[in-house]
Amino acid sequence: MPAVYMDHAATTPLDPAVLEAMLPYFTTAYGNASSVHSYGREAREGIDLARQQVAAVLGCQPREIIFTAGGTEADNLAVYGVAENYARSKGKHIITTGLEHHAVGECFEQLAKRGYRVTTLPVDEYGRIDPEEVRRSITSETSLVSIAHGNNEIGTLQPAGEIGRICRELGVFFHLDAVQSTGHLPVKVEELNCDLLSLAAHKFYGPKGVGALYVRQGVRVLPQIHGGAQERGLRAGTENVPGIVGLGAAITLAEREREGRAQREISLRDRLIASILATIPDTRLNGHPRERLPNNVNVSILWVEGESILLALDLKGIAASSGSACTSGSLDPSHVLLGIGLDHATAHGSLRLTLGKDTTEGDIDYLLEVLPPIIQRLRYLSPIWPGHKNRSD
Amino acid sequence: MYNEKVMEHFQNPRNVGILEDAHGVGEVGSAACGDIMKIYIKVANNCIGEIKFQTYGCGAAVATTSMLTEMVLGMPLEEAELVDNRQVADALGGLPEIKLHCSNLAADALRLAISDFRSQHHG
């Protein structure tokens, strides 16, 4: 049976070249980067190089990069770090959207409980925000606007550069959650006009458990983890040297391959979307048709439930994802799908297929071969499928 | 996530379909919560003579309804209505904890089908 991995937004395989770069830091160059001796210096050099590599891709200074234990920690540090640090000098008003990853969204919820005023920007049917809405929401007490560059579920891209320009004009810090877009789209901080930017290595063929936060020089974040002077005192704890080295190698490799890979993925993506919509009745595309991550397909398939689609696909060797309640681990389907105005049933029927650098035309062919009969079978099982009335048997 | 027996019922659900001339129909759940189980029965000699089901929902929802139809086929109504959701899950060799409450409602649908039958034929 074929093995087709179409869940690259969840995580990607480690590139063998990245593994190669990491390996010595587990076994021979195992020093603590804070140590004075040669072992420590070797580890320090590995971290320094990685910091330069990340800075080169973001177009910033190496000292503006803080390594973290992943995208979630980077998001937490950005949101809490800025909101708490500027609560007195600027105020306790913070702005976001209802479609953020929980790593940002739940920070806002916690801050709301602690007395911060939160503005949740409205989005259109594709999940896009109007930059002018950002301008209208900013007050003299606003410290932070935090928005995802590319949505992890529906793939919709935000007009980040324009939002950032407005924030800068009005003196408000702009955090861009670029966990899904880094390695897939250009993420030059000067073009995006952001003051903070989060990224995670495992989303672009690097290792899990390591990420980074860009913090523009002059912006202060209050540290969230205490107990050491690492990362200029902003992130305590002995550095994950192999992970950081892997992040540096992965982002360099991803940047080199990015344009060609994105073009390939867009062509596979658009073929997949068009074919699903054409061959399976009662389906809809979720997210923006063009302004979307190169590798993201998200469709709702009416009258069936997402987890059952995933189980059936898995039995055929295809790994995918859904925003149904069963897969979100709660009783409600994904807040992103509800946030763009889908009703619960349409959200429960969502299927996310995220492509990667190893995805082939053959993989798309295979998916398009096995998906329609799966849907047909599940619809036949479904009491809400209107097609029963038209059946002759 | 699911054991082999659950997956087997998910792949090859028993008694799928509609009984056009059912004596009783029971339905639980809603599209909003992501699970709907609908059970159709025909009664013969006070026993479940025929049973069919349709389910919209996750793997557990499909497997539990399928399992239940197998368990109660041929059973006297008084016995069938005592089957509870826990017994269905046990017959499947267990379900993930999170599924025990939201997707394990087949026995409730059957009880509704039996009471629907009674209200039509004895009420």
Share of chain B above pLDDT 90, in %: 85
Q: What integer pLDDT is reported at residue B98 of this predicted model?
A: 85
Q: Indicate the range of A10-19, A216-225, A364-373, A380-389 predicted with least confidence.
A: A380-389
Question: Which residues of chain A make contact with B35, given a CB cutoff of 8 A?
Answer: 305
Beta strands B35-44; B47-56: pairing state: antiparallel
Query: Is the confidence at residue B123, as pLDDT, over 60?
Result: no
Question: Which residues of chain A make contact with B34, given a CB cutoff of 8 A?
Answer: 305, 324-326, 331, 333, 344-345, 348
Residue A59: pLDDT band (50, 70, 90) is very high
User: What is the pTM for the complete model shown?
Assistant: 0.95
Chain A interface, best mutation among B8, B37, B58, by max A CB count within 10 A = B58
- All residues at 6 or more sequence positions from A206 whose CB lies less than 8 Å from its CB, including other chains: A12, A14, A15, A18, A246, A247, A249, A250, A251, A254
Mean pLDDT of A163-171: 98
Q: What is the mean pLDDT of chain A?
A: 96
Say yes or no for a CB contact (<8 Å) between B36 and A384: yes
Query: Is the confidence at residue B63, as pLDDT, over 60?
Result: yes
> A322-352, pLDDT tens digit by residue?
988 776 666 788 999 999 999 999 999 999 9
Which is more confident, A328 or A357?
A357
Residue A389: pLDDT band (50, 70, 90) is confident
Residue B103: pLDDT band (50, 70, 90) is confident
User: Could you confirm whether A326 is annotated as catalytic?
Assistant: yes
Query: Is the confidence at residue A291, as pLDDT, over 70?
Result: yes
DSSP letters along B9-44, please?
Answer: HHHS-SSBS--TT-SEEEEEEETTTTEEEEEEEEEE
**Residue type at position A47:** I
Mean pLDDT of A181-187: 98
Mean pLDDT of A116-128: 98
Say yes or no for a CB contact (<8 Å) between A384 and B31: yes
Say yes or no for a CB contact (<8 Å) between B54 and A383: yes
Q: What integer pLDDT is reported at residue A115 of this predicted model?
A: 97
Which among B11, B54, B58 is the nearest to A382, CB-wise? B54
Question: Which residues of chain A make contact with B7, given a CB cutoff of 8 A?
Answer: 311, 315
B15 interfacial to chain A (CB closer than 8 Å): no
Reported ipTM: the value is 0.95
Question: Which residues of chain B make contact with A383, given a CB cutoff of 8 A?
Answer: 27, 36-38, 54-56
Q: What integer pLDDT is reported at residue A329 of this predicted model?
A: 64
Share of chain A above pLDDT 70, in %: 98
Task: Considering the candidates A60, A167, A194, A326, report the single residue annotated as catalytic.
Answer: A326
Q: Indicate the range of A247-251, B39-43, B102-106 predicted with least confidence.
A: B102-106
Say yes or no for a CB contact (<8 Å) between B16 and A381: yes
Mean pLDDT of A282-291: 98
Query: Is the confidence at residue A392, as pLDDT, over 50?
Result: no
Q: Indicate the range of A143-157, A259-273, B95-109 predicted with least confidence.
A: B95-109
Q: What integer pLDDT is reported at residue A215 of this predicted model?
A: 98
Which among A331, A344, A383 is the nearest to B102, CB-wise? A331
